[in-house]
Amino acid sequence: MSRPEISVVIPVYNAERYLEECLASVLSQEGADFEVIAINDGSTDRSTEILRRYADRIRLIEQANVGFKEVRNVALKHVQGRLVALLDADDRYLPGHLARLAEFEKSRPEAVGFYGDAWLIDPQGQRLWVHKTPQASFENLVMGNYIIHSSVALRKSFFDRGETYHHCGPAGDWELWFRAMEHGPLVHHPWIGVEYRKHPESAMHQNQEEAEEWTFRILDWVFEKHKELSAKTRNQALTRAYYDRMGRFLAADKPKEARARALNCLRRDPAMFKAWVGLLVGLAPPPAISAAISLRRQILKWFARIK
């Protein structure tokens, strides 16, 4: 039996609300030779039942709960394709994505992996706006993890070197991208192949403090290892990190924490207008903060529609 071109890896833990949509979006792909490896990480909801209904079309591995980092590493031990596509159980592939990926990969032998833009969708699956991404480099990736995990496919040869997900909390994928780029370029592909779901149950939304801690630890590691990155770039990266944390704490209804991050931004860049706005929003009463966040989302949706 020939090996598949692509192995789609889907870690699953209590994802019953979105799992069938995810599986259907993969299994309906045409024009590519692929396998689906789903790791049921001790789910306690209906995920187990749903996965078993698809057991004749996927490779299903069931185990006791070990957490999202380790479950991904378990999955990597089972892949057979020359490309490993990383799909989260609450996201969806768009039609034709895997066929395009298989063809694009052949024309980029120097690449260690691939990623692309993504449609952001809400919990109900309605489109919000397009998340656009540049061609990845160390200089711009230190400014924040703009790469959507579910848009990524890495060559199996990268993992065959012994590379795995490291314990970096919710920022584990960001750290993996940096290590991947030490083996070759991560190439941006020119189509939108995935819908990425934004919802409050995601790991990044639930673990703000842990995500912040790992963000700065990863930045320290990158700048220590890559001396070619300038002091100016480091200052900009730290400022952007504090700004991102400010926004996330505002969205999590933690205005005190948001104000502290806004002040950290302004200490590094007193002219950063967006940080002043965030500071003022953080001083407002909770209903006004919610209204400001909602207005920003509506503006982003409006811009997405006119592009």
Distance CA 18, CA 66 (A): 21
- Comparing C-alpha atoms, which of 177, 151, 52, 43 is closest to residue 92? 151
Share the mean pLDDT of the chain: 91
Distance of CA 92 to the CA centre of its chain: 13
Q: How high is the pLDDT of residue 27?
A: 98
Q: How high is the pLDDT of residue 300?
A: 63
104 pLDDT higher than 90? yes
Q: What is the CATH number of domain 6-197?
A: 3.90.550.10
Mean pLDDT for 121-136 is 94
Domain residue ranges of the chain, discontinuous segments joined by +:
6-197, 230-306
Burial (Cβ within 10 Å: 0-12, 13-18, ≥19) of residue 208: middle
Q: Which two tokens stand for residue 232?
A: 């100016």
307 pLDDT higher than 60? no
Residues facing residue 121 across a β-bridge: 127, 197
- Phi then psi dihedrals of residue 93, to 5 deg: -85, 150
Distance CA 211, CA 217 (A): 10
* Lowest pLDDT segment from 90-99, 127-136, 214-223, 276-285: 276-285
Residues facing residue 36 across a β-bridge: 8
pTM of the model: 0.90
Q: How high is the pLDDT of residue 304?
A: 58
Q: How high is the pLDDT of residue 204?
A: 47
- Per-residue pLDDT of 25-60, as tens digits, reads 999 999 999 999 999 999 999 999 999 999 999 999
- Phi then psi dihedrals of residue 128, to 5 deg: -105, -65
